[in-house]
Amino acid sequence: MRADALANADAALTWRKSSYSGADNGDCVEMAHGLQGIVPVRDSKDPSQIIAFASEGWSRFLAGVRSGQLST
């Protein structure tokens, strides 16, 4: 997906914070569902910068975090 298309889609996305984000709302990673084949991710301190991951790659990343293969 092109960056401008992702930026335009941003207004329609529902963002949610990672359960691993800091409790003080300062260090928050947010992700959104709803786009075919990609998972947009952003830092809540700078929501204008969005990184798009392939859905399959994002799923593998989360599986690695949950299993302890990646440190949090």
pLDDT given at position 4: 61
39 belongs to a structural domain = yes
63 belongs to a structural domain = yes
Residue 64, pLDDT above cutoff 70:
yes
33 belongs to a structural domain = yes
User: Domain count of the chain?
Assistant: 1
Range of the domain at 12: 3-19+26-67
Residue 66, pLDDT above cutoff 60:
yes
- Summarised one tens digit per residue, pLDDT across range 29-62 is 888 987 889 899 988 888 888 888 999 999 998 8
72 belongs to a structural domain = no
pTM of the model: 0.71
41 belongs to a structural domain = yes
pLDDT given at position 44: 82
**Is 50 within 8 Å of 40 (Cβ atoms)?**
yes
Find the mean pLDDT for residues 17-25.
Answer: 69
H helices then E strands: how many in the chain? 2, 4
